[in-house]
Structure 1
């Protein structure tokens, strides 16, 4: 990976690490535009000020747009949301292994 690629990854991680950023992307991943209030309910627990800040950041990053009916993911944002599904699948496997270890079972041996 080049230094430029590393910088891009770090920049994306910095954006996604902001509180509620991934939740906003996740909430919009169904493809339906959401008004501010509906998005706030979808994300859950976010203050209007924080949500407004996240939306501004995600719009500046070209991941979210407002189309007149509400906020929605751009094509780039939808691509990211599809890739986050892989993280969700990994998280399920990881959680199962964590539960096995917590219950006294050794982790599986890699083959």
Structure 2
């Protein structure tokens, strides 16, 4: 888990944004957040949704996301986004909209 105000990958300062980018830039992290956007998922369902990510990596990312307060494990229902995780997902709404415009623009160039 990247520490705020301490060195993180790509930054000696550990500024808040750098710590967040370090966490989100890890393989499968954003995909996990995305797959949890609609409903809680068990480890097995989440693994299937993440194109069979290795169980070791998936569990490591889930642990990091839990430690960061973005994901929680609910008995009986699996992993789900916390309110803070939902806020992060909301922050991606403009990026999601941009991705659609970007894809349309690329299609027109082809």
The TM-score range, normalised by the shorter chain, is 0.7 to 0.9
Superposition TM-score, scaled by structure 1 size: 0.79
5+ long unaligned stretches in structure 1: 104-111
Q: Look at both structures and tell me which one has the larger radius of gyration over its CA atoms.
A: 1
Q: Deviations over 1:21-41 (max 9, x none)?
A: 0100001011x2211101111
Note if 1:67 corresponds to 2:77: no
Alpha-carbon distance in 2 for matches of 1:40, 1:88: 22
Note if 1:96 corresponds to 2:104: yes
Superposition TM-score, scaled by structure 2 size: 0.79
Task: Pick the structure with more helix per residue.
Answer: 1
Give matches, 1:70-81, under 5 Å: 70-81=78-89
The number of residue pairs the alignment matches comes to 97
Q: CA RMSD in A?
A: 1.7
